[in-house]
Amino acid sequence: MESVLSQVSVWSYAFATIVHALFGLYLAVAWRKGQRGALLIAAAVGGALWAGANWAFSVSGWGWLFQLANFFDVLRLAAWFGFLVALLSQPSADGEKNELPRWPGPGASAVVALAAGGVFCFSLGLPLYGTPMRTWAATSLLSSVFGLVLLELFYRAVPERYRWGIKPLALALGSLFAFDVYLYADTLLFSRIHPVTWSVRGFAHTLTIPLLAVSASRNPDWTLRVSVSRHVVFHSTALAGSGLYLLLIAGAGYYMRYFGGEWGEALQLALLFSGALFLCVLVVSGAFRARLRVLLAKHFFAYRYDYRKEWLSVTQALSVAGDGLSLGESVVKALADLVESPGGGVWLCDLNGSYSQQARLNMPDYGVREQADSELCRFLLEREWVVNLQEMRSGMSSGAGLPMPAWASELSDMWLIVPLISSGVLVGFVILLTPRTPVDVNWEVLDLLKMAGRQAASYIARMQTAEALIEARKFDAFNRMSAFVVHDLKNLVAQLSLMLRNAERHKDNPEFQADMLDTVRHAETRMRGLMAQLMEKTPINQRRPVQLKGVVEHVVQSKRMFKPCPRLLGCAPDLAVLAHAERLERILGHIVQNALDATPEHGSVSVELSQEGKFACITVRDTGSGMSVAFIREQLFKPFQTTKSSGMGVGAYEAQQYVNELGGSLTVQSEVGVGSRFDVRLPLAAQTQNASNEALAE
């Protein structure tokens, strides 16, 4: 038995040493230069020293360590007495000191001195009251009783409305002093230390540490910035409850097996399995977890919510739509989790000017619609109140004159209506379902829901703005493409019109007939390509190797009926670039057509293809009217800027944009009355491929 008790004391005081040391370290980090905080830190440090000395005594058996532990116990007791006296002397809520007797301070000093004398006599073997052990026990018992008296005086001095903050402290110190009274009274009666009681003392004193931490967190005027995490308390409570439950099940199973005869083992196994299964059901039960959170919030914390954690949770849920949830579903989940609701729905304004259900979570699609000018929407926008439908159904005035919506009276599972307001606009509202456990909707809950509602409204408004911007950009891209297509159609119409004017004179000419068929076929192919691009059936920006010789020859051939007829002066073979063939042909056709339009019939237009280092160069020269430097700089490449009566001003703009997109350049040299020269330089396909490979390698 003695070996077992020895092992119990070793583990008991080792555990007490570690916990008291960690508690003291945490208080030291959280200390904000206050007297009461310093005394609390001294008590924790004294407890660590006392427990450490007892642990060393349990391991080694050296008597002087036991005497040292008693000395540290007196120091710890002095720190607790000083802490209680400091609390008794603190000012009341109105700034005045409490009217209390003057004896607590001197009395505490006298009792501590007497306890120290008892320890001194015990260590030297001086029998002041019977034996030395009885002397030590008597003085220690007196100090413990005085601690209870001092604690009662402090508790009664605190007004009723402020006792919530010091109840954990009173319970912890009362239990601590009461245990010591039992230990020392037993020692005084029987003149020996009961080994079991002394071994368990370390565990008993350590169990009071969580209560001290809770009380310190509730009283910031102790100048200790101590915070107890709701997350830790929730999971610790759940773990402790689960452990206690399993111990009860194991104990019941043991006695069932012991007294159950031949059915005992079977009943034990069945009980253990059913108990474990029931525990799993409780762990995964949302309603049980909700009830536990509400219970802890009501009885352990001054405020129901950890606002920093709730704010981060709401922001995280809204900024990242994870787990397959859309933004609307994430909004519902973020608000529902605040009040233990299983889900709900989001009503947003649609194109018809009414609010309809756009997203839902664990809620059926009710098909409820609310007009933007209805009384409910006006009330939510003007008052920004969270409407409690349950209170309205029960006759309690929660809406300040707001009539119950017809659909709300028919759907009994709807609970709260949370407005979503951003920049003075009612973006929508969220309807939450009845919670898993009864929740008191007080001012704290309402304020938190309003805060989360404003945050959710800003995210939804930003999403709607982004969608509108994307839609506007799509229309802008479509309009730009339409302008380019119309410009190409204009050129094709001009080509066909020229062919019709010449048809009356050359309709019997077989060569003209063949050219006419080729022109019509080419125009028909180009029109189909333009329509396909307009309908986004072919990727207009898809790049492939394009042989420039064929493209340049085809452009010159397609303009052969114009006056003057363009000439191909030179065409270097085997020059390829990465581009979209039809789009490249179109922008070269724009440049050649502009040269033809600016040149009289007796002038000349020429096209030349050459190589300049790593670039292919397409040069278009004309002897037309030419352009000024100011026109080239300010108008030539600006969209919708043109000098032609029937022009659109997008040909040169599209040409420059596409050439730059391909990594090339478009330069212009012109002189008024002399002519112009356009140089289109494009990187060769082989060089482009090498550059791409180098970029990938980097």
pLDDT of residue 228: 47
Confidence of residue 33 (pLDDT cuts 50, 70, 90): confident
Location of structure tokens 């394009």: 546
pLDDT digits (tens, 9 = 90+) for 144-179: 888 888 888 888 777 766 677 788 888 888 888 888
pLDDT digits (tens, 9 = 90+) for 538-587: 445 578 899 998 899 888 888 887 788 899 888 887 889 999 888 888 88
pLDDT of residue 240: 56
pLDDT of residue 487: 62
What percent of the chain shows pLDDT beyond 90?
11
666, pLDDT greater than 90: yes
415, pLDDT greater than 90: no
Per the model's pLDDT, the better-predicted residue between 303 and 197 turns out to be: 197
257, pLDDT greater than 70: no
**How, if at all, do strands 665-671 and 425-433 pair?**
unpaired
pLDDT of residue 274: 61
Average pLDDT over residues 264-269: 54
The per-residue pLDDT of the chain, averaged, comes to: 77
Across 115-129, 457-471, 589-603, least confident range: 115-129
pLDDT of residue 290: 56
Per the model's pLDDT, the better-predicted residue between 88 and 689 turns out to be: 88
Alpha-carbon distance of 98 to 92, in angstroms, equals: 6
Average pLDDT over residues 664-683: 92
Across 144-148, 239-243, 316-320, 446-450, least confident range: 239-243
Confidence of residue 616 (pLDDT cuts 50, 70, 90): very high
Which pair of structure tokens corresponds to residue 601? Answer: 């019939």
Confidence of residue 508 (pLDDT cuts 50, 70, 90): confident
- Within 8 A by CB and 6+ apart from 311, the residues are 451
Average pLDDT over residues 98-123: 73
pLDDT digits (tens, 9 = 90+) for 425-437: 899 999 998 887 7
Per the model's pLDDT, the better-predicted residue between 22 and 190 turns out to be: 22
522, pLDDT greater than 60: yes
Cβ atoms 582, 620 nearer than 8 A: no
pLDDT digits (tens, 9 = 90+) for 481-507: 666 666 666 666 766 776 777 777 776
Average pLDDT over residues 662-673: 91
What percent of the chain shows pLDDT beyond 70?
71
pLDDT of residue 265: 54
pLDDT of residue 527: 72
Average pLDDT over residues 360-367: 83
From the list 642, 643, 669, the residue with the least C-alpha distance to 654 is: 642
Cβ atoms 71, 119 nearer than 8 A: yes
Average pLDDT over residues 40-45: 90
Q: Which amino acid is at 161?
A: R
Does the predicted model carry a pTM greater than 0.85? no
State the Cα angle at 164 between 160 and 168, rounded to 5°.
125
CA atoms within 13 A on the CB side of 254: 6
255, pLDDT greater than 70: no
Cβ atoms 318, 456 nearer than 8 A: yes
Average pLDDT over residues 239-263: 57
pLDDT of residue 324: 64
pLDDT digits (tens, 9 = 90+) for 43-97: 999 999 999 999 999 888 888 888 899 899 989 988 988 888 888 776 554 444 4
Average pLDDT over residues 273-300: 57
CB atoms within 10 A of CB 22: 13
From the list 649, 651, 643, 647, the residue with the least C-alpha distance to 672 is: 643
| Helices 2-30, 35-60: inter-axial angle, 10-degree rounding | 160
Neighbouring-strand partners of residue 666: 680
pLDDT of residue 687: 57
307, pLDDT greater than 60: no
Q: What is the dihedral of CA 2, 7, 11, 14, to 10 degrees?
A: 80
pLDDT of residue 520: 76
Confidence of residue 337 (pLDDT cuts 50, 70, 90): confident
194, pLDDT greater than 90: no
623, pLDDT greater than 90: yes
Helix (H) or strand (E) holding 678: strand 675-683
Per the model's pLDDT, the better-predicted residue between 404 and 536 turns out to be: 404
696, pLDDT greater than 80: no
pLDDT digits (tens, 9 = 90+) for 587-611: 898 899 889 888 998 999 999 999 9
Q: Is 629 exposed, middle or buried (0-12, 13-18, 19+ CB in 10 A)?
A: exposed
